[in-house]
Amino acid sequence: MGIKIRKTTVQNLWMMWEKAFSVLTYFRGASTSRFGICSVMLKKHRGEAIVCQDSTVIHKGEWVGELHLDNEKILKLIKSEGSDRAALQTARMLRKSMKQINEAFESQSEYQQVKALMGITLLHRGLTHGLGFEQQQMKSGFFTRITTVYLRLLLSAMHPEGRKRIDRRTDQLVPMLLVHSRGSLKKRFSPEQRLSG
């Protein structure tokens, strides 16, 4: 019982931090839009150029969409449905969100200059196979180390097994950069492309 209370306390504290962090990072981008379980922040790419599998090159200063998941919603699902059912429901909601994001890329003027949709996660295997993201290793450095700590703490707070899961799979829990170029996003989620395929 005590462990469960401590776990709930950690989760509640983490969600408070998430909300504070989202307020702090709000000013990093030009705008942030909501798409179901996801939000997309428009920002200029900082750092080295990224070469995508379809030969799209994202240069420093070009616009990208930074993808974020609604961790509070996922946590509520885990609490009410259990981790397995929550994972299935999250996957369905993610696919729906990706279709909405693609529609925005194709129809909304603010997304016309966006070259790619990008996100950073530890759970890259399911997202790359299920949603068509390509994954790229992040270069080692201060930002990567901070991101690793942040995402592992998040997973520890949200997953039912908490710290045990991280201790068992430390070597696999390395953050990856996930990328959908504008073209690959359309190819994967455009209604016309799905019908022709």
Residue 138 domain boundaries: 2-192
Integer Cα distance of 67 and 11 in angstroms: 22
Number of H helices, E strands in the chain: 8, 8
**pLDDT given for residue 31 in this prediction:** 84
Q: Within a domain: residue 188?
A: yes
Q: Within a domain: residue 89?
A: yes
Q: Within a domain: residue 56?
A: yes
Q: Within a domain: residue 62?
A: yes
Q: Within a domain: residue 155?
A: yes
**pLDDT given for residue 112 in this prediction:** 94
Q: Within a domain: residue 168?
A: yes
Q: Which of 155, 160, 168 is nearest to 71 (CA)?
A: 155
Q: Tens of pLDDT along 134-184?
A: 988 767 666 556 666 666 666 665 555 555 554 555 555 567 789 999 999
Number of domains in the chain: 1
Q: Within a domain: residue 103?
A: yes
By CB atoms closer than 10 A (0-12, 13-18, 19+), residue 23 is exposed
Q: Within a domain: residue 197?
A: no
Integer Cα distance of 90 and 36 in angstroms: 11
CATH number, domain containing residue 62: 3.40.630
- Is the pLDDT assigned to residue 28 strictly greater than 60? no
